[in-house]
């Protein structure tokens, strides 16, 4: 299986990784300061496989970056000196803005490790925030581009109830039977409700993902929601859908972004089957990890392309049919959730995309979104 993991430090990535080893060892980075700047750095650097964040620290134990670090399984240090004397450190990034920190770093940082602080660190923070904004914009742009392909499905689902409404209304103009009038009026009301539900689903899906709204997400419910959306993009009538959901499987992340991930994976799977085959959606909660699998019985992906499918602008679809950003954005969302994405594929047999996330305990204590 080809696994794309966010960092080399991720325990599951080490166990599963058959991704080619990088040419040089990852840069080992320590972050001092876990406020907005430290957290922004953590979020972006964490996604880069060539960077290993060895730890983060902050004087304020309730700094938001420390909570985020725990979610990402990045070590949190109580003392600055314990962190910066870490074996094999390459770079210390100090985003505290505290002049006193400079002398500590000068004395304690071992030879061979560089320090970025002051205005340079501030510049780095600004660049990282810019990168983070671009990623969010790219995700939204790709989602809107995908909605263009919904036209046929939307037209089908809107025009069918409209035909019913028009036909019944025409009939009512000269329907003498009062009971029939009542029944047909109710049919019209139901048809209007179906039409408005389509608008509601699509309006909700096309909205910009809300920033920093990570919560626990019921995976089965989100997969079902994605199926409803995906059917606008691809015809599901002749696809057998197998749902193998373990109950109460949850992951932590942004519900809008995870929905987008599922819609993309399901759409790709159905397109690979050319409208005939079996789509399998599976969820598994294990002791230390949660897995979600989206499998198809379609054409499969050539082995020489497997390593490239997560690259930006890589697509095997004809011009105008795909942006080449779908799987790239999926990878970014999954990495943001501290997960990994892997793919198994056989030509002529189909493909399985496996998403693996750290298991979430204490689900009942926090907000859950389905």
Binding site for other proteins (CB under 8 A): 151-152, 155-168, 170-171, 187, 191, 235, 237-238
Minimal distance, residue 155 CB to other proteins, in Å: 4
Minimal distance, residue 158 CB to other proteins, in Å: 7
Q: How far apart are CA 61 and CA 173, in angstroms?
A: 72
Tokens of 320: 């105008």
Of 161 and 220, CB closest to other proteins: 161
Of 181 and 306, CB closest to other proteins: 181
Residue 322 DSSP label: -
Of 266 and 343, CB closest to other proteins: 266
Of 162 and 347, CB closest to other proteins: 162
Minimal distance, residue 179 CB to other proteins, in Å: 15
User: CB–CB of 46/53 below 8 Å?
Assistant: yes
Of 82 and 170, CB closest to other proteins: 170
Q: How far apart are CA 24 and CA 136, in angstroms?
A: 30
Beta-carbon-side half-sphere exposure of residue 59 (alpha carbons within 13 Å): 7
Minimal distance, residue 171 CB to other proteins, in Å: 6
Minimal distance, residue 147 CB to other proteins, in Å: 16
Pairing of strands 277-285, 239-245: parallel
Could you give the angle at which helices 255-273 and 326-336 cross, rounded to 10 degrees? 140
Q: How far apart are CA 81 and CA 321, in angstroms?
A: 54
Of 23 and 178, CB closest to other proteins: 178
Q: How far apart are CA 201 and CA 236, in angstroms?
A: 17
Minimal distance, residue 180 CB to other proteins, in Å: 10
Of 231 and 252, CB closest to other proteins: 231
Minimal distance, residue 198 CB to other proteins, in Å: 12
Residues 6+ apart with CB under 8 A from 94: 32, 33, 101, 102, 105, 115, 116, 117, 121
Q: Which residue is listed with tokens 């305990």?
A: 361
């Amino acid at each position: 299986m080809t696994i794309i993991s966010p960092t080399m430090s991720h325990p599951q990535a080490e166990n599963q990784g058959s991704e080619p080893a990088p040419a040089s060892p990852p840069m080992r980075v320590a972050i001092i300061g876990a406020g907005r700047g430290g957290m922004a750095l953590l979020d972006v650097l964490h996604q880069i496989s060539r960077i290993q964040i060895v730890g983060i620290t902050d004087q304020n134990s309730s700094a938001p970056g420390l909570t985020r670090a725990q979610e990402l399984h990045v070590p949190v240090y109580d003392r600055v000196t314990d962190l910066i004397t870490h074996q094999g450190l390459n770079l210390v990034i100090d985003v505290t803005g505290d002049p006193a920190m400079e002398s500590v770093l000068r004395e304690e940082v071992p030879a061979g490790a560089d320090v970025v602080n002051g205005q340079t660190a501030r510049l780095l923070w600004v660049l990282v925030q810019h990168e983070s904004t671009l990623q969010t914009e790219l995700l939204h742009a790709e989602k809107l581009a995908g909605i263009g392909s919904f036209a046929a499905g939307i037209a089908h689902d809107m025009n069918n109830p409209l035909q019913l409404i028009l036909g019944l209304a025409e009939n009512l103009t000269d329907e003498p039977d009062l009971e029939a009038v009542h029944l047909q009026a109710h049919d019209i009301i139901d048809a209007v409700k179906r039409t408005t539900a389509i608008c509601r689903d699509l309006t909700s899906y096309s909205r910009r993902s809300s920033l920093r709204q990570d919560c626990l997400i019921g995976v089965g419910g989100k997969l079902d929601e994605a199926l409803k959306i995906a059917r606008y993009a691809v015809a599901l009538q002749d696809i057998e859908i197998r749902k193998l959901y373990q109950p109460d499987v949850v992951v932590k992340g942004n519900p809008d972004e995870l929905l987008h991930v599922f819609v993309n994976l399901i759409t790709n799977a159905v397109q690979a089957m050319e409208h005939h085959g079996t789509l399998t959606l599976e969820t598994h909660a294990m002791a230390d990890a949660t897995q979600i699998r989206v499998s198809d019985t379609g054409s499969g992906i050539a082995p020489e392309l497997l390593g490239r499918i997560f690259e930006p602008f890589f697509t095997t679809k004809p011009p105008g049919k795909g942006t080449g950003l779908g799987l790239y954005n999926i990878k970014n969302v999954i990495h943001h959730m501290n997960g990994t994405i892997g793919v198994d594929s056989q030509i002529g047999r189909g493909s399985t995309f496996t998403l693996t996330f750290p298991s979430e305990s204490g689900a009942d204590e926090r907000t859950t979104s389905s």
